[in-house]
Structure 1
Amino acid sequence: MPPALPGSPRLPYAALPAGLRAAVDAALGSPVTGVSPRQGGFSPGPAAVLTCADGRRAFVKAVGTPVNADSVDILRAEGRVTAALPGRLPVPRLRDQVEWSDDGGDWIALLFDVQDGAPPALPWTTDRARTAMRAVDRFGRSATPCPVPGLRSLAEGLAGPFAGWRELGDAPDLDPWERDRLDWLAGAEQRLADRGGLEGDTLVHLDLRADNLLIAPDGELVLLD
């Protein structure tokens, strides 16, 4: 059996506060009558394709501070960046960003055009990997210079993950391969910096995984999140 896409359990769309769901209905211009959940990813909030009474569809991602406070800021940042992306990039269009609050906390929902397709099958094949690399290369060329002002640099974005190897130095359950190469792994940031790999003016997708990619019906790759 092929491996499944990684992910965490997601909150059902129906479990969102009624006030947020009413705000989504208003943003879509028609009440939601059907919900088709999507799996994969590590956000605890729902991800689903919504079908409205008038037949139109939208993809929704939502989360609230009662579920995970950090995820609200992450989704808000995604909305800001996605709204600023030019249409030439292979990403779904953001249709609306809905925010709603009550005494229980703050909630946010991002509404996107529905992108038909499926994640690359696991394990990766050579052809799928080549398709992905070509798409990422096209994305990089089209996203230079970066079309979104004010973003943090790659070095800033990787500062936390790069520190992980140094912090794991005393972990008792490190694999022997990791322990033998810990200094080399911890030095990856400096090696990249020395080669200029952390500098530039290209927009970078910093979370490329199989569940953040879709193969469209025409065979092209679409980048998510």
Structure 2
Amino acid sequence: MLRELEKNPYRAIVNQTLWSIGDRVDQLYTIKSGWAYTCRDNLDGNRQVVDILLPGDVLGLRELTFATHLSHARMLTEGVICPFPHHRIVDIIESSTPLTIALMASLSRQESMLSERMLMSVHRSARSRIAHFFVETFTRLNRVHTIELGCFYLPISQKVLGEILGLTSVHISRSLSALERDHVLIKHRDHVEILDREKLYEEADFDGRYLSDDMNGLRERLKQHQHC
């Protein structure tokens, strides 16, 4: 069933629009490679990035039950994506309890990341929010394939980073300069170099439980269901 969702891959280019606000919800995408994002425009005209989607993620789950999209979706980098009709999710729900639980877990993690970011914006300094986002992204990437924390791919500009964290470009620039000056990290154009792991995690005050793959709460019920 998963292979069926990925049978029509195509190469997407940087900044390619996958859908816009008001478009009919008719396709979702699995991301085989590359990064994508969803965003909305604030009342003041500034853009707010909602989600960053990485390889292995399913793009569009959040708006699955709506008739039209509530956000824009675009490619952040070039990559390979696999579109599939949104009604295929119904086929999965009807045919496979384990895959349904996996999709629910994926959606739950997306919601948890949004909740964490909201709490961060209320209670944390700009540099702490930046450090937290870097550790979060590293953790997500490391679950797809093993990478080194010392230097990892992060193709996010200061402008986009500000749109993700709700910070101005000035805040982002000053905070990154301070983190570099304090020998914590250096943000390059398409990657980040970590100079001091301990300081980074101290700045981030990162608790990764909201990204956990643990599904014990539903796994026991699944076993009972299969036994019946």
* TM-score tier (shorter): under 0.3
More helix by share: 2
**TM-score w.r.t. length of structure 2:** 0.27
**TM-score w.r.t. length of structure 1:** 0.27
Q: Which has the larger radius of gyration?
A: 1
